[in-house]
Amino acid sequence: MPVEIKIKQPGYIALISVLIISAMLVVMATGISATSFFLRFNILDSEYKQRSSFLAEGCQNVVLFNLSKDINYTSTDNINIGSDSCKIFLVQHNFPSAGQITIQTKAVVQNAATNLQIVVDTNLNLISREELPSL
């Protein structure tokens, strides 16, 4: 003789199914929302990094301009460009040995730092350009 299970409350299975599906949808929506929230900050950080890179390049262009006026320029100043500023760390002349000038600059925008080094010859032609890990 088969055993019959009788459910006294009709709709119990449907109610539990709705609760489980609702919980899954809430978890998925929360995950997608958090992902897009943090993605926004990643994009903002990359824009700050790009801005600091352009600022460090602008600082180097100021040094190159000053070198075009006076080839013995060696200042290590802070340079204001718009509302931001950058720092010249090194202008090193290697005339006798290599005929090169090394320029190192650093710019920081909202904790995104860029440390650039370029090497130019005495005619201010670019020989090398690299981003350094730190200055």
DSSP label of 133? S
User: Which of 135, 128, 73, 74 is closest to 98 using CA atoms?
Assistant: 128
pLDDT given for residue 84 in this prediction: 83
pLDDT given for residue 107 in this prediction: 92
* Mean pLDDT score of the chain: 85
In sequence order, which residues have a C-beta less than 8 Å from that of residue 71 and are 6 or more positions away?
Answer: 122
pLDDT given for residue 3 in this prediction: 66
d(CA 51, CA 43): 12
Q: What are phi and psi of 49, to 5 degrees?
A: -65, -45
Spans of the chain below 50 pLDDT? none
Pick the CATH number of 12-132 from 3.30.1300, 3.40.50, 2.10.260, 1.10.10: 3.30.1300
pLDDT tens column, 67-106: 889 888 888 888 888 788 899 888 888 766 778 889 999 9
pLDDT given for residue 81 in this prediction: 80
pLDDT given for residue 26 in this prediction: 92
Taken in order 28, 29, 33, 39, the sign of the CA dihedral is: positive
DSSP label of 4? P
pLDDT given for residue 25 in this prediction: 93
